[in-house]
Amino acid sequence: MLVEAEIWTIARTDQGNAVLIRPLGSDSAVPIFMGQLEAQSILIGMGSVPMPRPLTHDLFINIFKQLKTTIIRIEINSLLNGTFFAKLILKTGRDELIIDCRPSDAIGLAVRKKCPIYIDEGIVDEAGIPVSSITNKTIESNYELTKTEIKMLKLELEKVIEIEDYEEAARIRDRINKLENDNK
């Protein structure tokens, strides 16, 4: 059975980058490991960071928009031999489409469209870890990912200042300040 979930945190661990998905109201979270670029894309989507050119997830959002297709939800629906599987549930007209995808891609799209995330309870039972077992060291290691996001934002800030888009520059500056303050 699927239950609604949220991104509890994104962290760098000894095993790599992980997005921890926690069912709403649960004391467990499921770590889904992924590459650095996938984790960065999710962080960028969570922060609504504008990029000078669309990243892959932004490209798909633009394609969906042109095709008048909406993302209803994502489902992390299977765990097989240590590999997670996910589905995008899309609506186009009166039709519902189900598309298999990697969880990192599904999450990257979900954070951009602010759509619900669901996870199978069996996965939580099999791969969930108690939230209380997550150490401050694990959460603090998220700072390395955030530093990369801040670098990208600073580059974007230089570009918008160069073209004298001061309103966008102020928004980016505020995002940088928030990220820096959150990680003190």
CATH number at 122 reads 3.10.690.10
Q: Distance (Å, rounded) from C-alpha 41 to C-alpha 161?
A: 24
- Would strands 69-80 and 83-92 be described as parallel, antiparallel, or unpaired? antiparallel
- 161 lies in some domain: no
In a domain, 93, yes or no: yes
Instruction: Extract the tokens encoding 154.
Output: 């600073």
Task: Residue 101: give the domain boundaries.
Answer: 2-133
**Would you say residue 124 lies in a domain?**
yes
- The predicted-structure confidence for 88-128, as pLDDT tens digits, reads as follows 999 999 999 999 999 999 999 999 999 999 999 999 999 99
Question: pTM, whole model, 2 decimals?
Answer: 0.75
